[in-house]
C-alpha cells in the first residue's frame, strides 16, 4: 500500500526528492509518510458467507522546512487542493475491490513541532476510504 502511495505522491509537482515511510530526517525539503492506522467501518455478509468490508486508512504526510509559516501554509493548501483535484479526475491510486466507491482526501494540519536549528514539522492528514471483498474460503478478491 505504501509503495503505491509513495509512487503517486512523487507525481505531485510540490514534492521534490525522497518520500520516506515512517521516518522524516530533519533536513529541509524532506517528506515523510507516517501510517496512522486502519479502522473497519462496516461489514456486510451475503448468504454464501462472502464478506464486504469497508475500511478507512489514515496517513500523515509531514515535511521539514526551514522557511516561513506563510510558505508552509501555501504548500499545505496547494497540496490539499492537488489531492482533491487528483481524486476528482480519477487519478488517485486504488486500494480496494470497488474503485468507484473509493475516496481519498487531504486535510491540512497545523505545525507538529519545532526541531533543532529552527526546522519545523508540518503535516497533512491523508484519509483513504475503500472496500475489500473476501469470499467464503478466505481468499481475497482483487489486489492488496
Query: What structural domains and CATH numbers belong to the chain?
Result: 2-134 (3.30.2000.30)
Instruction: Say what the pTM is.
Output: 0.78
pLDDT class of 129 with cuts at 50, 70, 90: very high
Quick one: which H or E segment has residue 139? none
Question: Which residue bears the cell 475489500?
Answer: 132
pLDDT of residue 48: 83
Q: Reduced to 3 states, what is the DSSP secondary structure of residue 68?
A: coil
- Rounded to whole angstroms, how far apart are CA atoms 32 and 26? 10
pLDDT class of 36 with cuts at 50, 70, 90: very high
For range 134-139, the mean pLDDT = 70
In this predicted structure, the answer to whether residue 8 has a pLDDT above a threshold of 80 is yes
Task: Tell whether the torsion through CA atoms of 12, 17, 20 and 24 is positive or negative.
Answer: negative
What CA–CA distances, in Å, run from 46 to 68, 84, 132? 54, 34, 14
Phi, psi of 24 (to 5 degrees): -145, 100
Total residues belonging to the chain:
144
- Rounded to whole angstroms, how far apart are CA atoms 65 and 30? 8
- Rounded to whole angstroms, how far apart are CA atoms 3 and 58? 15
pLDDT of residue 9: 93
Confirm if 108 and 124 have CB atoms less than 8 A apart.
yes
pLDDT class of 25 with cuts at 50, 70, 90: confident
pLDDT of residue 105: 92
Residue 93 or residue 76, greater confidence: 93
pLDDT class of 139 with cuts at 50, 70, 90: low
- Rounded to whole angstroms, how far apart are CA atoms 127 and 37? 10
Confirm if 33 and 5 have CB atoms less than 8 A apart.
yes
pLDDT class of 83 with cuts at 50, 70, 90: very high
Residue 66 or residue 128, greater confidence: 128
Amino acid at each position: 500500500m505504501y509503495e503505491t502511495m509513495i509512487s503517486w505522491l512523487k507525481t505531485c509537482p510540490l514534492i521534490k526528492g525522497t518520500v520516506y515511510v515512517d521516518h522524516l530526517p530533519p533536513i529541509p525539503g524532506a517528506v515523510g509518510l507516517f501510517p496512522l492506522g486502519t479502522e473497519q467501518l462496516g461489514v456486510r455478509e451475503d448468504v454464501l458467507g462472502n464478506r464486504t468490508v469497508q475500511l478507512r486508512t489514515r496517513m500523515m504526510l509531514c515535511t521539514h522546512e526551514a522557511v516561513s509559516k506563510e510558505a508552509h501554509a501555501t504548500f499545505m493548501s496547494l497540496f490539499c487542493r492537488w489531492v482533491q483535484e487528483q481524486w476528482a479526475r480519477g487519478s488517485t491510486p486504488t486500494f480496494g475491490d470497488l474503485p468507484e466507491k473509493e475516496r481519498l482526501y487531504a486535510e491540512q494540519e497545523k505545525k507538529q513541532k519545532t526541531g533543532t536549528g529552527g526546522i519545523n514539522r508540518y503535516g497533512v492528514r491523508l484519509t483513504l476510504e475503500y472496500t475489500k471483498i473476501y469470499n467464503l474460503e478466505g481468499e481475497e478478491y482483487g489486489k492488496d
